[in-house]
Amino acid sequence: MLIQILLISAVLVLMVFFLRNHGTTRTAAGVKIGFVLFILFGVLAVLQPDALTSIADAVGVGRGTDLLLYGLVVAFAFAMVNTYLRFKELELRHARLARAIAVQSAEPPALDDKVQEPGAGQDENQDKDEGTNVPTAS
């Protein structure tokens, strides 16, 4: 069936294109144009159900509504991928911002620390004291 070839190749081509070119101005514009075309397609489908049905017949789908459903599924999937990629980008920027703050306000160890080092036994004792404190603190 023609529709199967059309749908599968559309998905594959768009997927590859998306993953390669996401984030460029051109892709962003392409997504918007695609969105407008999809809306127009929706309006046409409502206004001219017969036209939709004849397109559906031409590509081998039984009814116009089925064609509409297929189109919707594909569009939805791409909207999801788009959102996912956008979130990933935001996450990375967010991480870089947080990292800059973290590194700026880093705390080097206390200065008297070197003196403490030989007396590891002292630390052990402190450990035990802290150990009893931890459960009550949390």
Partner 1 sequence: MSDYDDVWLIVPVYNEAQVIREVVQNARLTFPNIVCVDDGSRDASVSEIRQSGAHLVRHPVNLGQGASLQTGIEYARTQPGAKYFVTFDADGQHRVEDVVRMIDRLRKEPVDILVGTRFHGDTSHIPWIKRLVLKTVVALSPRTRRLKLTDAHNGLRAFNKTVADGLDITINGMGHASEIIAIIDRKSWRVAEEKVTIIYTEYSMAKGQSLINGVNILFDSALRGSRR
Residues 68-97 that bind partner 1 (CB under 8 A): 81, 84-85, 88-89, 91-92, 94-95
Query: Is residue 52 classed exposed, middle or buried when 0-12, 13-18 and 19+ CB atoms within 10 A define those classes?
Result: buried
CA distances, 49 to each of 6, 53, 89 (Å):
21, 6, 40
Residue 129 interacts with partner 1 (CB under 8 A): yes or no:
no
Residues 30-69: x/- map of binding to partner 1 (CB under 8 A)? ----------------------------------------
DSSP 24: S
**# residues contacting partner 1 (CB under 8 A):** 36
Q: For the chain, how big is the Rg over CA atoms in Å?
A: 30
CA atoms within 13 A on the CB side of 57: 6
Please give the residue ranges that form the binding site for partner 1 (CB under 8 A): 18-20, 22-23, 81, 84-85, 88-89, 91-92, 94-95, 98-99, 101-103, 105-110, 113, 116-117, 120, 123, 126-127, 130, 134, 137-138
